[in-house]
Structure 1
Amino acid sequence: TPLTYLGGVFYSLTLLPGFWQHVAALNPVVYMVNAFRYGFLGVSDVSLTLALTVVVGFIVVLFSFALYLINRGIGLRS
């Protein structure tokens, strides 16, 4: 839940002080929200290319990690 508040869901990231803008840039929710906002309004705080790259990157990393855990099989019943 805290990532939602720093994700720019309720405000533009340009309204944050400089330090919090840098912290928010590490939040993957920012990029999902901005891609969604660009789809509806045509306006975004970050470029659409960057937002889609970050979202796809997180999908690939997390999917790979999930496959690794499934293949490892510890704790799975057979």
Structure 2
Amino acid sequence: MSRPSLADKDFLTVIETAEYFGLSRRKLFRLAEEKNLPFMAMYGTRKLIIKDEFIKYLKKPGVKEGLANGKPRTKKRLEA
């Protein structure tokens, strides 16, 4: 039996959420530490994200931009 695609899943891990929506993993892990988020679900000690609720959250103005990946580091920036 093959694994379901991320599009078919109702609950995603933080890493799967970052991959599916093209967001920063680091920022999502920080967000997952906050309390009383409507899209978070606990399964034992695992934190899962309810995909439909997270989509509603992303539709709020400025949220998706705040969680987006930053610009890649350039060689010049790394040398400084």
The question of a shared fold, defined as TM-score above 0.5 by the shorter chain, is answered with: no
Q: Which has the higher contact order (CA 8 A, sep 6+)?
A: 2
Question: Highest CA radius of gyration, 1 or 2?
Answer: 1
- Greater fraction of residues in helix: 1
TM-score (norm 1): 0.24
TM-score (norm 2): 0.24
